[in-house]
Structure 1
Amino acid sequence: MPDLRLAADYLLYRVRALKLHGVHSPFVFDLYHNVLHHTGHFQAYDNVEALRQELLHDDRQLQVTDFGAGSRSINRNTRKVKDIARTSAKPAKYAQLLFRLVNRFQPETILELGTSLGMTTSYLAEARKEAQIYTFEGCPSIGQVAKEGFKKNGYSNIQLIEGNLDETLVPQLEQLEKLDFAFLDGNHRYEPTLRYFESCLAKSHENTVLVLDDIYWSAEMKRAWQEIKHHPQVRQTIDLFFIGLVFFRPQQPEEHFTLNF
């Protein structure tokens, strides 16, 4: 049933989604043309995808602790690294979009809520090596595999914070002067998603970019996405179906886009 619902939501998204000629906001038009649908290749893609291939062939068994909504594909406490890489790692299309967003906006402070095996973290690190990245992972064994990848690729700007996100996020945010970019992929339930969003708002500013993962993953996530879109501090959102982009730019009119991606 969840897969049928997701398929129906996707069909509706494709009907609503605009292509480039339907975008009249200069900011969103430029973002769509030069970032969302950028077709060039970066060497960083090869660096991270080589790591993905290693993980997809890694037979190690891990004891998994999951504080979020869990996985639709795997429902057991012991999992192979290669199975996590196959079912939980963000596909290259979306991970590389995160790379391009960071490359475009050049944030100094980045948060990632949900490290998993560190694929998206690696893309974030490749895009802005001068940034400080704080990535949060609830499962120690998965976090250890991620740290191995960071070390192998020489990323020195990543701090991995282990533990329950409900207990680790706010203390870390309190230590930051500001938050420039955040990827929220730590929990796929309504209440935690809104709570993490509100926590990030406390350190956000007009140029902060927030990216929410799996905004149609469940009825709870759809509800959370709708509430975030209509939050009084949110000025622009872009619905790309599997992820949603949130902007706070007061110089732009309040607009909400559903774009083909």
Structure 2
Amino acid sequence: MYIFISYIKFLLRSTNQHGVHSPFVYSLVTKCLYDHEKYPSYQKIKKHRKSLMKDKRSIRVNDFGAGSRVFKSDERKISEIAKNVGITPKRARLLNRLVNYLNVKNALELGTSVGLGSAAMAADNKVKVFTIEGCPETSKIAAEKFREFGLNNIELKVGKFMEVLEDKGQWTEDTEKNSKFQIPNSKSVSFNPKQPTTDNSQPTTTHYDLIYIDGNHRKEATLSYFELLLSNVHNDSVMIFDDIHWSQEMEEAWETIKEHPAVKVTIDTFFWGFVFFRREQEKEHFVIRV
């Protein structure tokens, strides 16, 4: 009921491209969010999803987040996870387009699940996707499917989000092995007081063009990820928060993020919240139907 009421409020406040006066956002909406062309990558994403939907194996899921509104047990079929928890086909195509449109080379995902979002970002895009999953059993399935479909530009790590994120050394080391995906430090904008290390004795902070947060749907956790990852963004980065209207506390987290001084542009599409850090723009918030 809460989500239903939130959606009605969203519809009353939302607009399309005709209500957007920012050239950057107008271009993003018309050329990416509203792009209806059918790309070859969509077939790869579809086949990956179909493989998961046909998988009737059961696994025991260790859920570190806010829990599931669908499942009553930790024992779940892979096909049911893909159907009820994974990113929808429409959002998968949008995520794939977004990576291409923004020329994303280095992406971070929190919440791999069975890998639908990771695959969407990676399919036919020149991007290196780093993804973190807390559940060992779920991550095994994701890794299996990545290998099956030749998605070699995805690197999966297993562990609690904060523990993996705070161990920045391992991520930097792995990124340096894929130097063609490395984001130049000169492009970085460090909003975190902890500046990236520039001497040769310690690793520098990895900067991501896109950070997709689809995991723990709690206010405190969401804000913790946001604050921690501010040191990993640059001027043209985008953060995407999933299910910003999941609950009252998630809506509160979204409002807090919007007011942060480092945030310049936000787009509320109801299911996703986009955050941009473009210093050259005035602070603006948009509510767009997608």
TM range, smaller chain? over 0.9
Q: Distance in 1 between matches of 2:44 and 2:141?
A: 17
Structure 1, unaligned runs of 5 or more = none
Alpha-carbon RMSD across the aligned residues, in angstroms, is 1.2
What residue in structure 1 maps to residue 226 of structure 2?
A: 197
C-alpha displacement of 1:115: 0.3
SS class of match (1:180): strand
SS class of match (1:215): coil
C-alpha displacement of 1:127: 4.8
What residue in structure 2 maps to residue 126 of structure 1?
A: 123
Q: Distance in 2 between matches of 1:42 and 1:119?
A: 17
User: What percent identity do the matched residue pairs reach?
Assistant: 40
Q: 2:2 aligned with 1:5, yes or no?
A: yes
Structure 2, unaligned runs of 5 or more = 173-204
Equivalent pair of 1:238/1:259 in contact (CA under 8 Å) = yes
What residue in structure 1 maps to residue 164 of structure 2?
A: 168
C-alpha displacement of 1:75: 2.4
C-alpha displacement of 1:155: 1.3
2:25 paired residue among 20, 28, 34: 28
Q: 2:257 aligned with 1:260, yes or no?
A: no
One-letter amino acid matched to 1:62? I
SS class of match (1:134): strand
Q: 2:85 aligned with 1:56, yes or no?
A: no
C-alpha displacement of 1:166: 2.3
One-letter amino acid matched to 1:134? F
Using the size of structure 1 for normalisation, the TM-score is 0.95
SS class of match (1:111): strand
**What do the CA deviations read for 1:108-166 (whole angstroms, capped 9, x no partner)?**
2110000011011001111523x221100011111111111111111111110101112
One-letter amino acid matched to 2:35? H
SS class of match (2:275): strand
What residue in structure 1 maps to residue 213 of structure 2?
A: 184
* Structure-to-structure mapping, 1:126-145, within 5 angstroms: 126-129=123-126, 131-145=127-141
Aligned residues: 257
* Structure-to-structure mapping, 1:60-75, within 5 angstroms: 60-75=57-72
Runs of 4+ in 1 over 2 A off after TM superposition: 172-177
Equivalent pair of 1:112/1:184 in contact (CA under 8 Å) = yes
SS class of match (1:244): strand
1:151 paired residue among 123, 138, 147: 147
Q: 2:46 aligned with 1:45, yes or no?
A: no
SS class of match (2:155): strand
What residue in structure 1 maps to residue 191 of structure 2?
A: none
Q: Distance in 2 between matches of 1:161 and 1:24?
A: 40
Structure with greater Cα Rg:
2
Equivalent pair of 1:6/1:217 in contact (CA under 8 Å) = yes
What residue in structure 2 maps to residue 245 of structure 1?
A: 274
C-alpha displacement of 1:90: 0.6
Using the size of structure 2 for normalisation, the TM-score is 0.86
